[in-house]
A and B are shown apart, each in its own frame.
Chain A
Amino acid sequence: MTFDRVPVVEAALDAYLETAPEAAPASAPRALDEPVTPGRSLTVGAARALFEDQVTSRAIDVTARELKKTDRSYYTISSAGHENDAVLGALLRIDDPAFLHYRSGGFMISRARQLPGTTPAFDALLGIVASSQDPIAQGRHKVWGSRPLWVPPQTSTIASHLPKAMGTAFSLARARRLGVATQLPPDAIVMCSFGDASANHASALSAINTARYAVRIGLPMPILFVCEDNDTGISVPTPEGWIADTFGNQGHLRYCLADGDLDEIWEVAAEAIRFVRHARQPAFLHLRTVRLWGHAGSDAEHAYRSQAEIAANEARDPLLRNARRLVETGAASPVELRALVRDTRRRVLEAGEEATRRPRLETTAEVVAPMAPYHPDRVALRAATPPPTAEGRRAAFGESLPEEQANPNARTLAGNLNAALADELARRPEMILFGEDVARKGGVYNVTNGLQRRFGAGRVFDTLLDETSILGIAQGAAHLGLLPVPEIQYLAYIHNALDQVRGEAASLQFFSSGQFRNPMVIRVPGLAYQRGFGGHFHNDNSVGALRDIPGLVLAVPSRGDDAARMLRGAIAMAAEDGRVVVFLEPIALYHEKDLHADGDGGWLFGYPPPPDHLLPGQVGVYEADDEADLLLVSYANGLRLSLRAARRLRDEHDIRARVIDLRWLNPLPFEAIRTHAARAGGVLVVDECRSTGGGVADAIVADLAEAGIGPRPASVRAVDSFVPLGPATAAVLVGEDQIVAAALLAAGERTAR
């Protein structure tokens, strides 16, 4: 048996079309608007169009493999055997957002038919050869996506696009209610597709669960989940009946099985779409497919499947079956289909050759251009617009504004965040705020207290306890033009859903060349040092995984006035440049009042009214004395500890320390650090996070060392451990004494040199 099964499958279709009996010469061709089979809605014309699109999709797969033989294509995961999803491309509208998995060639070709001027085959080929002319990813990946066809791109290998598809469905009615121009009609629905093996991913189950949950609490959830079931996950067979068993009997989820001939599949798919469109409830369309030619071009299917199994699978080729259906119903003649197949194969192959002549990305600048756009001037302008109005603020805050209250300069970080969120909600009608316990309870730490009461449940709402879905809702809402500010209740919980940030939200501009964006500010209470409340899950100090995400902005305020200004900067970056920002709030400082001594009120600050804001690179500087002996570089809890240590260094050791607050951990303010380090006698980085794993200290020390700036830098860091319960925390976290000791060494370094 030959290993290259492409010609075998192609030949089987050809053989059928060669040998199929022609219609009797006397019989007239069937009218295009009559149904293929009596009583069904698929017309002869639509069936012929579908078949043409399916053959086109197949030809793209064949061309990808053909070009691979001469190393001119870079992607051979194909849609072969899945082409009946073209039915959905034809039945859904191009203003029904579609989040597709990677075997969606048929869908894309047939959807593009709705928009004259599109070039779907050539576009796909440009993606396969990684050309910078690929209209969606510009050669950064082969993705199915299109701005005019409302298909946001994703790699979709682990069903990580389902939560945002659900989030888009969740947000449709809300965006409309809030007056945000979505450009979508009121009856738009969302579609997402995935494979049978992918249906097992936590992200898939999470999205489906949240969709059902929405129905249960009375929210509209117009989403069509399409499981393209080819019985296999790479080499692992899906147990027979697994998809139907798992999804066939779930409450609040209409299950529809699409199997059989083209007209039967059309009927079921049309009904599923009708249901979702009218009921505004989710449906699960179980579309039976076949996977031809292995998982990808490199996948040696014969290693895990018998020849008989492979041949049996090929016999179920939907193109073969559809050709037979068209011929047997008289919807098309074999001679017509032969010409169609011949012509399509040829033109797609030639288009593939042409695609290889198109330019590719070459420079680093070209590759990263859309990843992390940043226009400081425009962001600053955005932070100031729309200008806060006195009436708007009075309406949001009632009688007295935060800066007018009894002790205007004695406000906590939590209090200022609450006020800043209220100010932003008041002047940005597209902003929404949500998460676990944020609405009615006002947050575990009261940071969002009263916001739902003031701004309504349309804009401030509680979600179910699922971080993946919270971030999915954020992405979906952002796709529609809302400005989401989701909360992940604790830093440790974001790791539960981190791929939603890493693989999806942060990559969207990169893979869509900036054509799709999902601006958001993810508020995350975190870090350690909570007195009397402990354990790792509430005191997580791991930020490496966030700092490692390309393009992600990580903000970490340490005090109340900064927090308000940084939040405005973060929101402006999201709104203007579409950035994804994680706003990490140090829980232990939320309600901290004092700095050096109990009752000194040294950690209470005033409320800077909008539009005052801070942006990355703008560090906080304490004890700004040109003659400092030592530079302490820190953030968050570490900043407060550093300031305490600096006081002791001055009082007890006559050492003058300047302290800078990084404020932003991604991107790090290297320029400011270098400037201060160059003038310091010693440099100590105080990093409260784990000592390894992409921490801040590593990056700063390395930068100063490589640049040869200032004295040899030193650092103190938390122990590389989970944070324990109770007083044992002191054994792993950075403490004040430790800072003082290290500072003395670092200051001594100057004299030693």
Chain B
Amino acid sequence: MNRPPRAVVVCPGRGAYTSASLGSLPADHPIVRRAEDHRAALGLEPLLALDGAERFDPARHLRPANASPLIFLATLLDVEEAARDHELVGVIGNSLGWYTALTVAGALSFDDGFRLVQQMALLQEQPIAGDGPGGQVIYPLTDAGWQPDERLTASVADALLDGGEGQVFESIDLGAYAVLAGDEPGVQGLLRRLPPVKVGDRLYPLRLALHGPYHTPLVAPVASAAAEQLRDLAWRRPAITLVDGRGGRWTPWSSEPAALRDYTLGGQVVTPYRFASSLRVALRELAPDLLVLPGPGNSMGGICAAGVVMEGYHGIRSRADFDEAQRAVPVILSMRREG
């Protein structure tokens, strides 16, 4: 009897929903209906209306309070499908993806997971103290062949050392990319000081639209508000091992739900999210056959592929190795192929 492949699920962050993602949600699916109930109770626009819009409107679709639940739902629907022919041995996520991962792993019920996602998104829409919204800037750390480029790493280090007139922080370590964050003067400084570099057809540094300075002390009020507003979430032991944004493992057998809550609503919010570490730990300690990438967009594909190459996983040490492996026995399965 063939055992199903062992898969680690990688839940995407908030950059995932794009114009190509429209029409992701099946209207009659129970969790979509439940989500719509929650949205209605909060007086928020129906997700199906957003998802069914004729055209993608960045101001509307990328608004945190809309994008987050859309991505959350689409991810869960894909995981449901992936679980049919994979053994899910681990779940990781990038930023918002961590909240989704908690639900995928069963540490939160669907309803509580939705509340967490929706509430955090609403809180993230609150302006931070200071001058302007602040935000996140993404910058590559590898070349087009996914090999680390020391000059780019040095540029990031320099930018972090010199915040100019503003405040800048490390926000997310994606391995192949660094996400830096700051208050508005900080972000402006980053955009000025990071040397322009082109990878593929994209020019960096790139500001992430409608993203705040997440995973930095600037959003500390979010953490305290979340702890207050979400104190009645029922945290449970996960049914699948989670690897968090520090590379910490939460297994079904030894995880303490209270500690999971404290991390998620506390340190996780205000310290750098080390996605690269979570991926590395998942690959090394859980040793999956493949990574499954659910959800809209293809924001995690290149990042995970570069992570696999940098780790040398399954002997894959270059982009060419990776392409060859994908043709033979894929190490990354993207549930969707969008724009």
Binding site for B on A (CB under 8 A): 32-33, 45, 48-49, 51-52, 116-122, 133, 332, 336-337, 339-340, 343, 346-348, 350-351, 353-354, 357-359
Apart from A52-B253, A122-B284, what are 7 other A-B pairs with CB-CB below 8 Å?
A: A52-B254, A117-B274, A119-B285, A339-B253, A350-B287, A350-B288, A351-B286
Q: Contact between A351 and B284 (Cβ–Cβ < 8 Å)?
A: yes
The CA-CA distance from A599 to B313 in the complex, in Å, is 75
Q: Which residues of chain A are near B315, meaning CB under 8 Å?
A: 357
If the complex has contacts A354-B313, A354-B314, A357-B315, are A347 and B248 also in contact, measured as CB distance less than 8 A?
no
Say how far B322's CB is from chain A's closest CB, in angstroms.
15
Q: Closest CB-CB distance, A353 to chain B, in whole Å?
A: 7
Q: Which of A118, A353, A358 contacts B287 (CB 8 A)?
A: A353
10 sampled A-B residue pairs with Cβ under 8 A: A48-B253, A48-B254, A52-B251, A116-B248, A117-B246, A118-B281, A121-B284, A122-B285, A339-B253, A340-B253
The reply on B170 being an interface residue by CB < 8 A is no
Q: How far is the CB of A120 from chain B (nearest CB, A)?
A: 8
Q: Which residue of B lies closest to A116 (CB)?
A: B248
Is B284 a contact partner of A347 (Cβ separation < 8 A)? Answer: no
Question: Which residues of the partner chain B approach A120 to less than 8 Å between Cβ atoms?
Answer: 285
How distant is the Cα of A121 from the Cα of B241 in the complex, in angstroms? Answer: 15
A350→B6 contact, CB < 8 A:
yes
Which of A32, A122, A351 makes the CB contact (< 8 A) with B256? A32
Contact of A117 among B247, B252, B258, B313 (CB under 8 A): B247
Does B277 lie at the interface of the complex (its beta carbon under 8 Å from any beta carbon of A)? yes
Proximity bits, B270-299, A CB within 8 Å = 1, else 0: 000010010011011111110000000000
Tell whether B244 is near chain A: CB-to-CB under 8 Å.
Answer: yes
Which one of B244, B254, B277, B287 lies within 8 Å of A347 (CB-CB)?
B287
What's the least CB distance linking A351 to chain B, in Å?
4
**CB of A429 to closest CB in B, whole Å:** 30
B247: A residues at CB distance < 8 A: 116-118
A45 cross-chain contacts in B, Cβ below 8 A: 254, 256
Contacting pair B251 A121 (CB below 8 A): no
Measured in the bound complex, the distance between the Cα atoms of B315 and A359 in whole Å is 9
A354-B281 contact in complex given A45-B256, A117-B274, A332-B253, C-beta closer than 8 Å: no
Shortest Cβ gap from B252 to chain A (Å)? 7
- Given A347-B89, A354-B313 in contact, is the A119-B252 Cβ separation under 8 Å? no
In the assembled complex, the Cα of A616 lies from the Cα of B213 at a distance in Å of: 55
Contact check, A347 vs B274: say whether CB atoms are below 8 A apart: no
Residues of B within 8 A of A118 (CB): 247, 281
Which B residues touch A336, using CB under 8 A? 252-253
Question: Which chain B positions have C-beta within 8 A of A359?
Answer: 312
- Separation in Å of the A354 CB from the closest CB of chain B? 5
Residues 241-266 of B at the A interface (beta carbon under 8 Å): 244, 246-249, 251-254, 256-258
CB of B89 within 8 A of CB of A343, answer yes
A354 touches B254 (CB 8 A): no
Q: In the complex, are the beta carbons of B280 and A354 less than 8 A apart?
A: no
CB neighbours (8 Å) of A51 from chain B are 253
CA distance A51 to B251 in the complex (A): 12
Instruction: Kindly list chain B residues whose C-beta atoms are within 8 Å of the C-beta of A121.
Output: 284-285
Q: Is the CB of A119 within 8 A of B312?
A: no
Q: Please provide the 6 A-B residue pairs with the shortest distance between their CB atoms, ordered closest to farther.
A: A117-B247, A116-B248, A350-B287, A122-B284, A116-B246, A49-B254
Residues of chain A with a CB closer than 8 A to B287's CB: 122, 347-348, 350-351, 353-354
| A350 to B289 CA separation, bound complex (whole angstroms) | 9
**How many angstroms from the CA of A534 to the CA of B152 in the assembled complex?**
67
A203 to B2, CA, bound (A): 54
Which chain A residues border B6 with CB–CB below 8 Å? 346-347, 350
Task: Tell me the smallest distance from the CB of A470 to a CB of chain B, in Å.
Answer: 41
Which residues of chain B are within 8 angstroms of A119 by Cβ–Cβ distance? 280-281, 284-285
Shortest distance between the CB of A662 and any CB in chain B (Å): 43
How many B residues, CB 8 Å from partner?
29
- Interface residues as binary, B128-143 with A (CB distance below 8 Å gives 1, 0 otherwise): 0000000000000000
Provide the residues of chain B in CB contact with A48, threshold 8 Å. 253-254
B 194-234 contacts with A by CB, 8 A: none
A23 to chain B, nearest CB (A): 15
Docked pose: A458 CA to B10 CA in angstroms:
56
**Residue on B with the closest CB to A332?**
B253
Q: Distance (Å) between the CB of B219 and the closest chain A CB? A: 21
Q: For residue B240, which residue of chain A has the nearest CB? A: A343
A352–B284 Cα distance when bound, in Å, is: 9
CA distance A351 to B284 in the complex (A): 6
> Once the chains are docked, how many angstroms separate the CA of A357 from the CA of B331?
15
1/0 contact string of B304-316 vs chain A (CB within 8 Å): 0000000011110
Chain B residue nearest in CB terms to A117: B247
Which residues of A are found within 8 Å of B253, using beta-carbon distances? Answer: 48, 51-52, 332, 336-337, 339-340
* A116 contacts B254, C-beta separation under 8 Å: no
How far is it, in angstroms, between the C-alpha of A118 and the C-alpha of B277 when the chains are bound?
Answer: 9
Chain B nearest Cβ from A357, distance in angstroms:
5
C-alpha spacing A350/B254, complex, angstroms: 21
Closest residue of B by beta carbon distance from A133: B312
> In the docked arrangement, what's the CA distance between A49 and B6, Å?
23
Closest A residue by C-beta to B247: A117
Chain B residue nearest in CB terms to A350: B287
Q: How far is the CB of A32 from chain B (nearest CB, A)?
A: 5
Question: How far is A250 from B256 in the complex, measured between Cα atoms in Å?
Answer: 42
Instruction: Collect the chain A residues with CB atoms within 8 Å of residue B249's CB.
Output: 116
Q: Tell whether, in the assembled complex, residue A117 and residue B281 are in contact, meaning their CB atoms are under 8 Å apart.
A: yes
> Measured between alpha carbons, how far is A690 from B283 in the docked complex, in Å?
57
Give the distance in Å from the alpha carbon of A49 to the alpha carbon of B288 in the complex: 22
Contacts of A358 in B (CB 8 A): 312
- A357 — which chain B residues lie within 8 A by C-beta? 312, 314-315
**B246 and A351 contacting across the interface, CB-CB below 8 Å:** no
- Bound together, the chains give a CA A117 to CA B253 distance in angstroms of 19
| A117 contact set on B, CB distance < 8 A | 246-248, 274, 277, 281
Pairwise interchain contact B313-A351, C-beta atoms closer than 8 A: no
Judge whether A339 and B286 touch: CB under 8 Å.
no
Nearest chain A residue, comparing its CB with the CB of B257: A32
List the A residue with the shortest CB-CB distance to B317: A359
**A339 touching B252 by the CB < 8 A rule?**
yes
A49 and B289 alpha carbons, distance in the complex (Å): 26
**Residues of A contacting B257 in the complex (Cβ-Cβ under 8 angstroms):** 32
Closest to B312 in A: A358
**Which chain A residues border B252 with CB–CB below 8 Å?**
336, 339-340
Q: Measured between alpha carbons, how far is A367 from B248 in the docked complex, in Å?
A: 32
Q: Of B244, B288, B313, which one neighbours A116 at CB under 8 angstroms?
A: B244
Q: In the complex, which residues of chain A have a beta carbon less than 8 angstroms from the beta carbon of B248?
A: 116-117
From A33, A116, A353, name the one whose CB has the most chain B CB atoms within 10 angstroms.
A116
User: Which chain A positions have C-beta within 8 A of B314?
Assistant: 354, 357
Residues of B within 8 A of A343 (CB): 89
Distance of A488 from chain B, by nearest CB (Å): 44
Bound state CA distance, A411 and B244, in angstroms? Answer: 67
- In the docked arrangement, what's the CA distance between A45 and B259, Å? 11
Q: In the complex, what distance in Å separates the CA atom of A332 from the CA atom of B253?
A: 9
| Complex contacts, A52 vs chain B, CB 8 Å | 251, 253-254
CB distance from A684 to the nearest CB of B (A): 54
- A33–B256 alpha-carbon span in the complex (Å): 9
Q: Which residues of B contact A122 (CB under 8 A)?
A: 284-285, 287
Q: How far is the CB of B9 from chain A (nearest CB, A)?
A: 15
Residues of A near B246 (CB, < 8 A) are 116-117
A73–chain B nearest beta-carbon distance, Å: 16
How far apart are the CA atoms of A411 and B286 in the complex, in Å? 68
Q: Which of B247, B253, B286, B289 has the most CB of A within 10 A?
A: B253
Q: For A339, list chain B residues within 8 Å (CB).
A: 252-253
Shortest C-beta distance, B321 to chain A (Å), equals 12
Contact indicator per residue, chain B 35-67, by CB within 8 Å of chain A (1) or not (0): 000000000000000000000000000000000
Are the CB atoms of A347 and B286 closer together than 8 Å? yes
Q: Which residues of B contact A116 (CB under 8 A)?
A: 244, 246-249, 277
Question: In the docked arrangement, what's the CA distance between A353 and B257, Å?
Answer: 32
Give complex CA distance A346, B287 in Å: 9
Whole-angstrom distance from the CB of B308 to the nearest CB of chain A? 12
